[in-house]
Amino acid sequence: MDSGLSDVKFLKNGNGNGALVTMIEGGEGLFRVVAQDPESKARCGVLNLPHGPVETPVFMPVGTHGTVKAMIHEELEEIGFSLILGNTYHLYLRPGIQVLQHFKGLHSFTGWRGNILTDSGGFQVFSLTPFRKITKEGVRFRSHIDGSSHFLTPELVVEVQRVFGSDVLMPLDVCTPFGITYKEAWEAVELTTEWAARSKKAWEGTMEKSRGFLFGIVQGNFFPDLREKSAEEILQLDLPGVAIGGLSVGEPFETFLELLSHTVRFLPREKPRYLMGIGTPEFILEAVDQGIDMFDCVFPTRIARNGTAFTRTGRIALKREAFIYSEEPLEPSCACKVCQRYSRGYLRHLFKVGEIAGPVLLTYHNLYYLNQLVKEIRSAIRAGRYPTFKKEFLSRWASPLYNNQLF
C-alpha cells in the first residue's frame, strides 16, 4: 500500500555509533510516521485529528463519564494531554443522548478543548456479562444503574458517537476473556467483522455531519490463526485506523507479548495502531517496541485513588507505615507540582485520614509520570536508541514481570 510518505532522511543516532534512525517528512491525511527506530518496530508519528495534532506514541487518560477522575481539564492540559478517552456505554446511559444533543456534543458539554476518542461499549459487553445478551443484530443489556432495558446495534453505536462529536470512533465489537474455546473465539471474530462492516456503512452515511475517524478492532482471543483472520478481515474494510482488542484481559505476560507480536505482523505501516487497555510502564514499553502508537487504561488513575504511585523504580503503596516519617517526594527526579511540593509522609497522612486531596494529588502525579514517560520514549526513538532506553528503564523498574529479565 502507498503510505503517502516522502522525503526520507537518515540521521545518526544520539550515540553517534552509526545506527540510522529514519526521519520522515510529508504525508497527508490522518496519520504520518515521522521517525522509525532502526533496531525495533518503535516509531514516532502525528495524528491529525479535528481538535488538533497529537504526537505518538501517546497515552490517553480515561474519562469514562466525560471527566478523568480526580482531575480537571486545566490540569490535563497543563500536563500536556491533547487526547482523552470517553466511554460510549456509560455516556449513552448518563447523561444520555438528548442531553448531549442539546449541548451539541461532548466537547461543548464538558468544556474539553482537545480530542476525544470514544470506546464503543464493547468492553462492557465483556465485563458486564450478567447484564447482557449478544445476538447477531447487537447487544441487549440491562442498565447497571436502574435495570432499564437497552439494545445497542453497530449502527446505533456509530450514531451515538456522532452525536458526541468524537474525534475517533470505535465500532461495536465482541471482546472475549482468556480461556474460552476456539469455537467461541471464532464466533466472536465473525460477529466483530460483521459489526465492523455495518459500522463502516453507518459511519460513511454520517460523514457530512461528523469529522471523526472510525477505527477497526482486531480480535481473535489467544488463537494466532484467528488473530490473523480478524486482522485480514478488518483491514479489508480500509478504515482510517486499527485497534488491537482482547489483550491484557488476565492472560500471562508472556502470552500477551507473544500474541501482540503476532498480531502486529498483519497491520499496515501507514495506519495508526491502537492497543486497547494498557497503562503500566512495562506494558507500554513492550507495545511501543512492537510499533504501537496509542494506548489507554484506567489503571494509573485507579491505583492513585487507592494510594499507589508510580516511581522510577516501581510502584509504591503510600499507606504503608514505612512512609510515616518520609520527607522524600514521591519521585525525586519528577518535575510535577506534586513532587515539587509534597512529601511521601504528608501524602500518606492524607490517605490515612480520608482527605480527598490524597487521590487528587496522586492522580496528577501518575498521569504526569506516564506522559513524561511517553515523551522520553519519543525522544529515544528520534535519537535511534529506543532498545537501549527500554532496557535501562526496565533494569530500574521493580516488577515481577521482569524477574526473569524478559527485556
**Distances in Å between the alpha carbon of 3 and those of 39, 117, 239, 309?**
21, 23, 14, 40
Burial 336-346 (b: 16+ CB within 10 A, else e): bebbeebbbeb
**The one catalytic residue among 167, 289, 293, 296:** 296
| Catalytic residue list contains 119 | yes
Asked if 243 and 276 count as a contact pair (C-beta separation under 8 A), the reply is yes
Q: Rounded to whole angstroms, how far apart are CA atoms 77 and 109?
A: 17
State the angle between helix axes of 281-289 and 253-264 in degrees (0 to 180), rounded to the nearest 10: 30
Residues, the chain, total? 407
Q: Can you spell out the DSSP letters for 308-325? A: EEEETTEEEETTSGGGTT
Asked if 271 and 280 count as a contact pair (C-beta separation under 8 A), the reply is no
Q: Rounded to whole angstroms, how far apart are CA atoms 11 and 9?
A: 7
Asked if 317 and 304 count as a contact pair (C-beta separation under 8 A), the reply is no
Q: Any idea what the Cα angle at residue 391 is, between residues 385 and 393, rounded to 5°?
A: 100
**The one catalytic residue among 2, 37, 119, 146:** 119
Shortest CA distance to 396 belongs to which of 385, 386, 407? 407
Relative to beta strand 115-119, strand 83-87 is parallel
Q: Residue 16 — left, alpha, or beta (φ > 0 → left; ψ -120 to 50 → alpha)?
A: left
Asked if 366 and 347 count as a contact pair (C-beta separation under 8 A), the reply is no
Shortest CA distance to 339 belongs to which of 322, 354, 323, 361? 361
Which 8-state DSSP code applies to residue 327? -
| Catalytic residue list contains 7 | no
State the angle between helix axes of 357-382 and 386-396 in degrees (0 to 180), rounded to the nearest 10: 150
State the angle between helix axes of 357-382 and 281-289 in degrees (0 to 180), rounded to the nearest 10: 20
> Could you give the residue numbers annotated as active site?
119, 296
